[in-house]
Structure 1
Amino acid sequence: MREKLNHLYVNSQERTILLHSLVELKNQLIQQGRYTDPVDELIFKVSNAPIKKLKVVAG
Structure 2
Amino acid sequence: MRDKKYYIVLDDFERRVIVNCLNEMRNKIIADGKYTDAVDEVLLKIIGAKQKKFKVIYKEA
CA RMSD of aligned residues (A): 1.1
Q: 1:6-45, aligned counterparts within 5 Å? A: 6-45=6-45
How far the C-alpha of 1:35 sits from its partner, in A, is 1.0
Identity of aligned residues (%): 37
In 2: Cα distance, 1:31 partner to 1:21 partner: 15
Aligned length: 59
Unpaired runs of 5+ in structure 1? none
1:55 alignment partner in structure 2: 55
The TM-score with structure 2 as length reference comes to: 0.86
Structure 2 stretches lacking a partner, 5+ long: none
Runs of 4+ displaced beyond 6 Å: none
Q: Report Cα offsets for 1:8-58 as digits up to 9, x if no partner.
A: 111111000000000000001001111101111111110110011222234
